[in-house]
Structure 1
């Protein structure tokens, strides 16, 4: 990757970031993401491999129509790197705008492996997200430590499956938030899925949690998008926009329909009293180590070149 290609990509990322800062959500088409990720180090081979990474997912711990894995990463801006965090259980509560039968439960997901975390396309997605949210001010969630320099990113690799006997729901919980600061969703692929499946709807925070996607108040609707093409990506300020999704439906009703996604939940570390406080270690993963360098945002690169200090992990 030459400097000109990288700088062109950084300029495009900053344009996306400016739109995100202004509108509080942004959708990036997959073909655009492919070129951005290539400039950030993704190889053509790994872009093909990541399309198939969901084929060996195990059963989800609580949802019968889903297969899943997860893993935790730290965005360490002070040291310009992202690294794999050690395994922790996962919990999400009704207090965080997530109302479902398993709200508040401690869930144990199988861990993502090197087939995903060492894929250069995945690493480029982590770099991309870091450049989008870094330094952006948002409404703050209670019991998160905004004085911390680190950010925790929980990555989910998910496959939603509809069969003749079971409806696959990308968001069974209806209208919700994800209990974080920034949510990014990236489409990997689908099989036998209808063109009107899995539409994402954005809602004002006043919308009632748990409301089905088709029962919401039109006056509180803020937009919609649909992940249909490889690497179609949405990013949303999670404590300023709620969202819901329509189900996955099959073209051929006799066969399964599948939808494969990567979901990046990013937030500050939690404080005492938060449901996830016992499960929020910043220790590196001993068995599955991974680290990737994080570049400075374009405007900081310009400042550093002129002799000014970098902003590090401090919000501006």
Structure 2
């Protein structure tokens, strides 16, 4: 997908380093890049995420799967062999400088229409913002944050942070019985720049990672004693 340089998302990203997009805008933008015909099956795959053993070792809990792709500015996209997720300690003080192996995203989801459409959209937008980049290293993360009456869920246990990449998409897939979970954007010295709560499926945050820090407030159940979760897809693009 080719996004014109004067598109509102491009303008906001270039001006502010981030952009919040509501579902009524984001879903049509995605559909302009491809089909979302398997969205129901895509969303249901969050019910089969495995626990994050590295975070459990720190006394916290979340579920996730991970996949890596390669992409180029001409739109080519390929699933890469399964590999670890790595962040330098300067970007992740909680779990940095270690190779973290997570269960792979299920093959039918990684090759499904919804994920390929999301990646095509990201490739078009991010390549238009960084025209000098010919090749991208792309990582895809499925996250489920669960909350209970006696344990709030932490979408970003490392706090306000950068990911050490070029661009980030955070896309809400599902939200059930959850209060809060507000995405916050800050300058490197901590000045608030904006906040937005991903409430509906397809609500999204787009982030130019070198320019701003981002975080998400803890989530709690609206109704105590009932299952509560926040499901998001995080896609990162880093220049090769």
**What's the counterpart of residue 73 of structure 2?**
77
Q: 1:191 to 1:57 in 2, by over 3 A?
A: same
Which sits farther off after the overlay, 158-167 or 236-245? 158-167
C-alpha separation in 2, matches of 1:42 and 1:266: 21
Where is the strand percentage greater, Structure 1 or Structure 2?
A: 2
Post-superposition shift, 1:103? 2.1
Structure 2 stretches lacking a partner, 5+ long: none
Instruction: Give me the TM-score of the superposition, normalised by structure 1.
Output: 0.69
- 1:201 matched to 2:193: no
C-alpha separation in 2, matches of 1:242 and 1:131: 23
Instruction: Give me the TM-score of the superposition, normalised by structure 2.
Output: 0.90
1:174-208, Cα deviation, whole Å (9 max, x unpaired): 111111111110000011112xx11011111123x
**Contact (CA 8 Å) 1:13, 1:132: kept in 2 or not?**
no
Q: 1:117 to 1:12 in 2, by over 3 A?
A: farther
Q: 1:127 to 1:63 in 2, by over 3 A?
A: same
Aligned residue pairs, count: 236
Q: 1:83 to 1:185 in 2, by over 3 A?
A: same
- 1:266 matched to 2:237: yes
3-state secondary structure, aligned to 1:129 = helix
**What's the counterpart of residue 154 of structure 1?**
139
- 1:114 matched to 2:107: yes
**Contact (CA 8 Å) 1:99, 1:176: kept in 2 or not?**
no
Post-superposition shift, 1:152? 0.5
**How do residues 136-151 of structure 1 correspond to structure 2 at under 5 angstroms?**
136-137=129-130, 149-151=134-136
Larger Rg: 1
- 1:189 matched to 2:174: yes
Where is the helix percentage greater, Structure 1 or Structure 2?
A: 1
Post-superposition shift, 1:165? 4.0
C-alpha separation in 2, matches of 1:159 and 1:85: 23
**What's the counterpart of residue 204 of structure 2?**
233
Structure 1 stretches lacking a partner, 5+ long: 1-5, 139-145, 208-219, 270-316
C-alpha separation in 1, matches of 2:44 and 2:77: 24
C-alpha separation in 1, matches of 2:87 and 2:79: 21
C-alpha separation in 1, matches of 2:6 and 2:52: 34
3-state secondary structure, aligned to 1:157 = strand
Post-superposition shift, 1:11? 5.7
- 1:221 matched to 2:192: yes
**How do residues 58-73 of structure 1 correspond to structure 2 at under 5 angstroms?**
58-64=50-56, 65-73=61-69
**What's the counterpart of residue 29 of structure 1?**
22
**What's the counterpart of residue 223 of structure 2?**
252
3-state secondary structure, aligned to 2:200 = coil
Post-superposition shift, 1:92? 1.2
